């Protein structure tokens, strides 16, 4: 602080003329003598209104408090520089003045040069004191911070003597006395001193050195990663060494556990019978398991960092690209792919692409590809066997229907003719005539039932009638037995079908009606045949309790599953959906040929 900064000066003087002269002199010197007070009360009021840098206080002022007491109050309350003004004072008063440690004395009448010198020296001393106080406060704060960070911090001078060690550092070592200026050998102990000596010497040569040491703490060995680095002076010469140490015991343990967990995970993934890969959001590879190495023909160390197109190859990438793009948008995608195998057979894979999401952002993709070739071939074999079974079943139905229609039904018809002839001969024998009539009626019912069974096994009418007509006849007979109302409707554009296709639609209607009667608790059924959108279809809609997707997979639905396979083999399909507010619609369809 200097005169150019216009230091504020409070004058405490009860001689008004002297005070005014001092105020003018101070103004001429560049100081801001902003107030004159002639009592302790007025001095405190002025200092409260504006805190002064310097107080010029006459030792003898009027009032209850003299100048010494006034200066004591100002110094304690406002921490100002106090310079006493005195013309004469006895020894006792001087002793009192000394006790408040004033910054100087000036004898009245005050000379300007002495006044300027005293104020400048006092202000300079104040600036130095404030700087020292700030440095002490900063040093204390640094010590507090250093003692409370979970890091051991130390400093050794060039001669290897300790100049600083924080609380963490001191607690690790058995040395408990004052560590300042203690030799490193005594502070560290013989073993640690020898272990770290070489690193300290390298640091003194200007090198940054990192090493790991073991500290026994409460009977447990803790690992510490220690860094020594030089303290260089302005000429670049090492004058000491800073030491920083971190307890890395838990980190090392967790790192080892993480490495083991990673090894276990990789071992598990490498033994999974599926190709597993992981991709970054830029579609560069992060991981491939053993199956993926074999599939793409690239080792894991080379695969990491490769772009998906390069690793997969053009053909595979072209197929996978839409799924990859969808996964990058946050959608999980699953698809079945095929490719030619080395034995020139077609292989099948089930591929799944799952987005990796963090904080609602896609950061990568997990891809799993499972070889389902054997499963697919097994499924195809089962489908072939099922179709063969259906064919055998139809053939058996045809054979049984032929036996019933051409054999048993004809025999029953002959029996009926014989009973009719016997009834005509027994005109006078009332009892025999009655028995013949009853037997004729019974045989007639058997004939009708036999023909109905034969027709259900193999509808002969399909050879010369439209399928809608045959289904309507069957539905009418079925409705009477099941207490249902069944309506059959055919759209005008529904085409004529070959007998095998008509039979397939007839079997679908049979199976659907049987399911409705057994499980749907329905009262009405509508069967609609139509041809549109490049396909022929039949809908069977009921007003029952409604079917669930899970119910389609139950054992009792094997008939519908078999029909689905038969329609699928011809390029069509079968679906079942719930209706609102209640009921089910079963739809079977085939593509329109030609």
pLDDT tens per residue across span 90-108 = 677 778 888 888 888 888 8
CA dihedral 31, 32, 36, 39 (to 10 degrees): -80
Exposure b/e, 476-492, CB count within 10 A at least 16 = b: eebbeebebebebebee
Q: Alpha helix locations (H) across 226-335?
A: 249-270, 290-296, 300-303, 308-312, 314-328
Domain boundary among 355, 371, 387: 371
Q: How many CA atoms lie within 13 A of 464 on its CB side?
A: 2
Asked if residue 212 lies in contact with residue 222, where contact means CB atoms within 8 angstroms, the answer is no
Q: Compute the distance between CA of residue 118 and CA of residue 96 in angstroms, rounded to an integer.
A: 21
Q: Compute the distance between CA of residue 26 and CA of residue 13 in angstroms, rounded to an integer.
A: 14
- At 351 the three-state DSSP class reads strand
Containing domain of residue 209, as a range?
149-247
Phi first, then psi, for residue 316 (nearest 5°) are -65, -40
Q: How many CA atoms lie within 13 A of 31 on its CB side?
A: 29
| β-pair partners for 146 | none
Asked if residue 151 lies in contact with residue 225, where contact means CB atoms within 8 angstroms, the answer is no
Residue 141 falls inside a structural domain? no
How would you class 69 by CB atoms within 10 Å of its CB: exposed for 0-12, middle for 13-18, buried for 19 or more? middle
Lookup: tokens for 342 = 């080395």
Asked if residue 156 lies in contact with residue 163, where contact means CB atoms within 8 angstroms, the answer is yes
Instruction: Name which of 256, 251, 267, 257 is nearest 300 in CA terms.
Output: 267
Q: Compute the distance between CA of residue 538 and CA of residue 305 in angstroms, rounded to an integer.
A: 54
pLDDT at residue number 106: 87
- Tell me: pLDDT of 552 over 60: no
Number of folded domains in the chain?
A: 5
Asked if residue 296 lies in contact with residue 277, where contact means CB atoms within 8 angstroms, the answer is no
Q: What is the CATH number of the domain that holds 276?
A: 3.30.450.20
Indicate if 448 and 492 belong to the same structural domain: no
Asked if residue 283 lies in contact with residue 307, where contact means CB atoms within 8 angstroms, the answer is yes
Neighbours of 133 (CB within 10 A): 10
Q: Compute the distance between CA of residue 10 and CA of residue 13 in angstroms, rounded to an integer.
A: 10
Indicate if 470 and 555 belong to the same structural domain: yes
pLDDT at residue number 555: 39
- Report DSSP state, residue 13: -
Lookup: tokens for 279 = 């991709």
Q: Compute the distance between CA of residue 317 and CA of residue 333 in angstroms, rounded to an integer.
A: 15
Lookup: tokens for 454 = 């034969």
Phi first, then psi, for residue 289 (nearest 5°) are -90, 180
Q: Compute the distance between CA of residue 469 and CA of residue 330 in angstroms, rounded to an integer.
A: 52
Residue 142 falls inside a structural domain? no
pLDDT at residue number 12: 93
Q: Compute the distance between CA of residue 37 and CA of residue 309 in angstroms, rounded to an integer.
A: 91
Q: CA-CA distances (angstroms) from residue 430 to 418, 420, 440, 524? A: 17, 14, 15, 48
| β-pair partners for 352 | 334, 368
Asked if residue 215 lies in contact with residue 222, where contact means CB atoms within 8 angstroms, the answer is yes
The residue among 90 and 542 whose pLDDT is bigger is 542
Residue 38 falls inside a structural domain? yes
- The average pLDDT across 11-20 equals 90
Q: What is the CATH number of the domain that holds 52?
A: 3.40.50.2300
pLDDT at residue number 32: 92
- Read off the pLDDT of residues 491-539 as tens digits, 9 standing for 90 and up: 867 788 888 888 888 888 888 898 888 888 899 999 999 888 788 999 9
Indicate if 232 and 268 belong to the same structural domain: no
- Looking up tokens 């079942």 gives 576
Indicate if 350 and 435 belong to the same structural domain: no
- The average pLDDT across 294-313 equals 93
pLDDT at residue number 5: 61
Indicate if 212 and 296 belong to the same structural domain: no
Domain boundary among 106, 133, 160: 133
Q: How confident is the model at residue 1 (pLDDT cuts 50, 70, 90)?
A: very low
How would you class 308 by CB atoms within 10 Å of its CB: exposed for 0-12, middle for 13-18, buried for 19 or more? buried
pLDDT at residue number 281: 94
Indicate if 7 and 116 belong to the same structural domain: yes
Indicate if 364 and 376 belong to the same structural domain: no
What's the count of helices (H) and strands (E) in the chain, helices before strands? 19, 20
Residue 144 falls inside a structural domain? no
pLDDT at residue number 323: 94
Residue 209 falls inside a structural domain? yes
- Report DSSP state, residue 176: -
Q: Compute the distance between CA of residue 168 and CA of residue 226 in angstroms, rounded to an integer.
A: 13
Average pLDDT, the chain: 86
Q: Alpha helix locations (H) across 329-408?
A: 373-402
pLDDT at residue number 556: 47
Indicate if 199 and 165 belong to the same structural domain: yes
The residue among 96 and 154 whose pLDDT is bigger is 154
> From the CA atom positions of the chain, what is the Rg in Å?
54
- At 469 the three-state DSSP class reads helix
- The average pLDDT across 454-472 equals 75
Indicate if 112 and 232 belong to the same structural domain: no
Residue 468 falls inside a structural domain? yes
Indicate if 448 and 484 belong to the same structural domain: no
- Read off the pLDDT of residues 173-211 as tens digits, 9 standing for 90 and up: 888 788 899 999 999 888 889 989 999 999 999 999 999
Residue 208 falls inside a structural domain? yes
- Read off the pLDDT of residues 340-372 as tens digits, 9 standing for 90 and up: 777 778 888 999 999 999 999 999 999 999 988
- Looking up tokens 């891809």 gives 367
pLDDT at residue number 304: 93
Q: CA-CA distances (angstroms) from residue 344 to 314, 320, 338, 373? A: 19, 22, 12, 13
Asked if residue 590 lies in contact with residue 571, where contact means CB atoms within 8 angstroms, the answer is yes
- Tell me: pLDDT of 380 over 80: no
Asked if residue 478 lies in contact with residue 470, where contact means CB atoms within 8 angstroms, the answer is no
Domain boundary among 102, 133, 164: 133
Lookup: tokens for 504 = 């397939």
pLDDT at residue number 401: 64
Lookup: tokens for 443 = 């045989």
The residue among 564 and 186 whose pLDDT is bigger is 186
Which of 4-18, 168-182, 231-245 reaches the highest mean pLDDT? 231-245
CA angle 9, 15, 18 (to 5 degrees): 60
Q: How confident is the model at residue 383 (pLDDT cuts 50, 70, 90)?
A: low
Indicate if 9 and 74 belong to the same structural domain: yes
pLDDT at residue number 203: 94
Indicate if 361 and 341 belong to the same structural domain: yes
Contacts 24+ apart (CB under 8 A), 270-273: 273/370, 273/371
pTM: 0.48
Q: Alpha helix locations (H) across 29-109?
A: 40-49, 67-78, 91-99
- The average pLDDT across 108-120 equals 88
Residue 583 falls inside a structural domain? yes
- Read off the pLDDT of residues 402-432 as tens digits, 9 standing for 90 and up: 667 667 767 777 787 887 878 778 777 888 8
């Amino acid at each position: 602080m200097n005169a150019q900064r216009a230091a504020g000066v409070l004058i405490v003087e009860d001689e008004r003329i002297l005070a005014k002269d001092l105020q003018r002199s101070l103004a001429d010197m560049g100081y801001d003598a902003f107030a004159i007070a002639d009592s302790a009360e007025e001095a405190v009021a002025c200092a409260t209104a504006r805190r002064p840098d310097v107080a010029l206080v006459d030792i003898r002022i009027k009032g209850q408090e003299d100048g010494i007491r006034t200066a004591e109050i100002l110094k304690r309350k406002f921490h100002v520089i106090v310079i006493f003004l005195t013309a004469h004072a006895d020894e006792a008063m001087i002793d009192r003045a000394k006790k408040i440690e004033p910054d100087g004395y000036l004898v009245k009448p005050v000379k300007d040069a002495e006044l300027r010198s005293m104020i400048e020296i006092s202000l300079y001393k104040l600036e130095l004191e404030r700087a020292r106080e700030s440095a002490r406060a900063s040093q204390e704060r640094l010590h507090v911070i250093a003692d409370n960070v979970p890091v051991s911090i130390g400093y050794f001078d060039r001669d290897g003597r300790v100049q600083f060690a924080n609380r963490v550092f001191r607690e690790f070592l058995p040395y408990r006395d004052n560590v300042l200026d203690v030799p490193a050998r005594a502070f560290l102990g013989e073993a640690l001193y020898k272990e770290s000596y070489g690193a300290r010497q390298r640091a003194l040569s200007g090198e940054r050195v990192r090493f790991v040491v073991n500290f026994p703490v409460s009977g447990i060995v803790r690992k510490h990663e220690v860094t020594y680095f030089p303290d260089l002076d302005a000429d670049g010469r090492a004058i000491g060494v800073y030491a920083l140490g971190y307890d890395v015991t838990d980190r090392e343990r967790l790192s080892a556990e993480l490495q083991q967990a990673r090894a276990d995970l990789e071992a598990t993934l490498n033994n999974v019978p599926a190709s597993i890969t992981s991709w970054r959001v830029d579609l560069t590879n992060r991981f491939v398991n053993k199956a993926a190495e074999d599939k793409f023909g690239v080792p894991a160390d080379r695969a990491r960092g490769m772009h998906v197109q390069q690793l997969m190859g053009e053909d595979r990438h072209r197929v996978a690209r839409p799924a990859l793009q969808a996964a990058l948008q946050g959608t999980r995608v699953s698809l079945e792919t095929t490719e030619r195998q080395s034995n020139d057979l077609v292989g099948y894979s089930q591929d799944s692409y799952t987005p990796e999401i963090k904080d609602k952002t896609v950061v990568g993709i997990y891809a799993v590809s499972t070889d389902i070739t054997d499963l697919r071939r097994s499924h195809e074999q089962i489908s072939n066997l099922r179709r063969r079974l259906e064919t055998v079943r139809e053939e058996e139905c045809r054979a049984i229907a032929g036996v019933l229609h051409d054999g048993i039904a004809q025999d029953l018809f002959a029996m009926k003719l014989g009973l009719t002839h016997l009834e005509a001969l027994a005109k006078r024998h009332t009892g025999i005539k009655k028995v013949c009539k009853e037997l004729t009626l019974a045989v007639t019912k058997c004939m009708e039932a036999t023909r109905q069974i034969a027709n259900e096994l193999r509808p002969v009418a399909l050879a010369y009638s439209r399928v809608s007509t045959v289904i309507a006849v069957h539905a009418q007979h079925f409705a009477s037995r099941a207490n249902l109302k069944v309506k059959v409707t055919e759209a005008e554009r529904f085409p004529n079908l070959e007998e095998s296709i008509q039979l397939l639609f007839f079997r679908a209607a049979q199976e659907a009606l049987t399911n409705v009667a057994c499980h749907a608790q329905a009262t009405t059924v509508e069967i609609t045949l139509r041809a549109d959108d490049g396909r022929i279809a039949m809908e069977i809609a009921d007003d029952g309790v409604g079917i669930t997707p899970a119910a389609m997979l139950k054992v009792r639905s094997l008939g519908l599953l078999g029909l689905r396979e038969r329609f699928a083999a011809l390029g069509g399909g079968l679906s079942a959906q719930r209706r609102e507010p209640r009921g089910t619609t079963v739809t079977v369809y085939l593509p329109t040929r030609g």
